Structure 1
Amino acid sequence: MKYKLVAVDIDGTLVGEDLVIRDNTRRALHQCAQQGLVVTLATGRMFQSTKPYAEKLGLDVPLITYNGALVKHSGTGEVYHHRTIPLELAHEIVRLCKELGLHLHTYVDDEYYVEEYSDWSRRYEEISGVTGHAVGDLEKFLTREPTKFIISEEPEKLEQYIDYLWEKLSPKLYLARSRPIFLEILHPSVSKLEGLRFLGECLGIQLSEMMAIGDAYNDVEMLKGVGLGVAMGNAPPDVQAQADWVTAGIEEEGLVVALEKFILKG
């Protein structure tokens, strides 16, 4: 199969904990582009947190951000697709998290907001490279529909509440773990697969002509829905089980291994 597009997750796939793109990774993705493939990023990150990685890779393409809720061009800034959370549901999420004592981040117009700064705010900023805004009462602040929420907690605390949150919020909303410490909440139609489907329609590329590579639960729909879904070796076993093929882990440059097997030397 000759693929026309490759979609790459960022955290745990493109970069490890050091958040650095390795030279071999940059070289392999550049070679894919030279062969005529569209190379894009498909991530839960904000657009403004994703764009620097696209620039480092020399990508001038639409990017799948916010788990597919926002598809926006890295160069022109043109918005191809944007799904937001209805305001009534957004207020329900804020009240629920306050009741449970969970740290909540919200995202409006590609900026992120918290009630007050905390260690979780600083931790998120270290990962994303984006500075947040402390605005006090989030329910009062939210007068426009947000793109998404993130609940940030230690894995043990998230596990304690995850079933209850699913019961309360699903199927009204899309919930996915992007990291062990992050639970993302978005419009119920959102997924990276939806973002890729929309992008494919714009570019004239079928999902069957796409290859996607990821490592987390928010990658599962994408890995199952494209022509070739590749899970990283560092992905949880139940994520790996949904993929067509499992590559090496992030420390063994699993992204490069997969690109060389299926595209560059295929």
Structure 2
Amino acid sequence: MTDIKLIIFDIDGTLIKVGRHRIEPSAVEAIRAVKAKGIKVLVATGRTLYFVNPHVREVVDSDYYVTVNGHCLMDREGKILIRQDLPIEAVKRMHAFCVEHDIALGMKCSDAIYVTHNFKRYYETYSEGRDVTSIILDDTQRADHYLSVEAPMGLFLIGNLDILKENAHLFPEFTFSPAKPGCMDAYAHDVNKTKIIEEVLHRHNIPWEQVMAFGDGENDKEMLRKAGYGIAMGNAKPGVQKYADFVTKEVDEGGIVHALKHYRILE
């Protein structure tokens, strides 16, 4: 058995198949077994905490939450320990770009996502059929919450993103990471999940060599590379898998359990 002290889980495409809302049953039991062995767990996601399904929080009972692609570190109760906001001038330019090219734009703040352009498209796509009217708010009339109340920690864009890819050089302040089809995360170029995870490792004196990390997305590549045991899901693209030490099965084929058994953390 490997000497693992901490296991990091991405959510979408790792614990939950994209388009679903609950952790695969085999992964539920695996997480409980891991925690029973005294191994700490940490969720690292592009989502804000209020958009993490309560089922996920209940099952994982994460010691920490790294949210908004590393812009925010929270404890298990949801208290913000560290946060980094996006540069306002760059956000202004992005808002103007999205209005010009009719790209729906949501700004991830601490209490809700404030949509500054094309609320209807944004809500229909992001809500996935759920009632999330309390945490996706229409700011299209004034489009000033990020200026007058709170700077966002991240952006989420929905629409024809080819034009954004062609003009990404206009926004050197941002890293763009594909989410589900037609959707893109944007976060600060000098921020990623790994940097804020290192704060947790420092607090608990855990070296990267004793960390296992599961992920499937572009925003997981660095933590897969840094972890002593980087596990890419079978549904991850080849460009992500190449950063991993081991490629497990797909999320809905028992990928979490398969990797834990491969490294003899579970029998």
In the superposition, the TM-score normalised over structure 2's length comes to 0.89
Higher mean C-alpha displacement, 26-35 vs 110-119: 110-119
Aligned to 1:199: 200
Q: Secondary structure at the match of 1:104?
A: strand
CA, structure 1 residues 200+127, in 2 after alignment: closer, same or farther (shift >3 Å)? farther
Alignment of 1:19-98 (within 5 A): 19-50=21-52, 52-75=54-77, 77-98=78-99
The amino acid across from 2:171 in the alignment is L
Q: Over aligned residues, Cα RMSD in angstroms?
A: 2.1
C-alpha displacement at 1:139, in angstroms? 4.5
- How many residue pairs align between the two structures? 260
CA, structure 1 residues 180+197, in 2 after alignment: closer, same or farther (shift >3 Å)? farther
CA, structure 1 residues 104+67, in 2 after alignment: closer, same or farther (shift >3 Å)? same
C-alpha displacement at 1:42, in angstroms? 0.9
**Are the counterparts in 2 of residues 234 and 250 from structure 1 also a CA contact under 8 Å?**
yes
In the superposition, the TM-score normalised over structure 1's length comes to 0.90
> What is the alpha-carbon distance in structure 2 between the residues aligned to residue 4 and residue 127 of structure 1?
38
Aligned to 1:151: 157
C-alpha displacement at 1:181, in angstroms? 2.8
C-alpha displacement at 1:50, in angstroms? 2.0
CA, structure 1 residues 127+74, in 2 after alignment: closer, same or farther (shift >3 Å)? farther
Summarize deviations over 1:61-86 as a string: whole Å, max 9, x none: 111111111111122x3222111102
Aligned to 1:121: 123
> What is the alpha-carbon distance in structure 2 between the residues aligned to residue 99 and residue 46 of structure 1?
27
Matched, 1:142 2:146: yes
Aligned to 2:113: 112
Alignment of 1:161-180 (within 5 A): 161-165=164-168, 167-170=169-172, 172-180=173-181
Q: Secondary structure at the match of 1:45?
A: coil
Higher mean C-alpha displacement, 254-263 vs 53-62: 53-62
> What is the alpha-carbon distance in structure 2 between the residues aligned to residue 222 and residue 103 of structure 1?
29
CA, structure 1 residues 25+177, in 2 after alignment: closer, same or farther (shift >3 Å)? same
> What is the alpha-carbon distance in structure 2 between the residues aligned to residue 127 and residue 244 of structure 1?
37
CA, structure 1 residues 235+261, in 2 after alignment: closer, same or farther (shift >3 Å)? same
**Are the counterparts in 2 of residues 104 and 150 from structure 1 also a CA contact under 8 Å?**
yes
Higher mean C-alpha displacement, 222-231 vs 138-147: 138-147
Greater per-residue helix proportion: 1
Q: Secondary structure at the match of 1:184?
A: strand
Aligned to 1:4: 5
> What is the alpha-carbon distance in structure 1 between the residues aligned to residue 37 and residue 131 of structure 2?
32
> What is the alpha-carbon distance in structure 2 between the residues aligned to residue 200 and residue 128 of structure 1?
35
Aligned to 2:217: 216
**Are the counterparts in 1 of residues 34 and 265 from structure 2 also a CA contact under 8 Å?**
yes
C-alpha displacement at 1:178, in angstroms? 2.9
The amino acid across from 1:123 in the alignment is T
Q: Secondary structure at the match of 1:235?
A: coil
C-alpha displacement at 1:129, in angstroms? 6.7
CA, structure 1 residues 53+220, in 2 after alignment: closer, same or farther (shift >3 Å)? farther
Q: Secondary structure at the match of 1:264?
A: coil
> What is the alpha-carbon distance in structure 2 between the residues aligned to residue 225 and residue 67 of structure 1?
16
> What is the alpha-carbon distance in structure 1 between the residues aligned to residue 222 and residue 253 of structure 2?
25
Aligned to 1:18: 20
**Are the counterparts in 2 of residues 196 and 207 from structure 1 also a CA contact under 8 Å?**
no
C-alpha displacement at 1:218, in angstroms? 1.2
Matched, 1:242 2:243: yes
Identity %: 26
**Are the counterparts in 1 of residues 71 and 153 from structure 2 also a CA contact under 8 Å?**
yes
**Are the counterparts in 1 of residues 115 and 122 from structure 2 also a CA contact under 8 Å?**
no
C-alpha displacement at 1:263, in angstroms? 4.7
> What is the alpha-carbon distance in structure 1 between the residues aligned to residue 185 and residue 93 of structure 2?
15
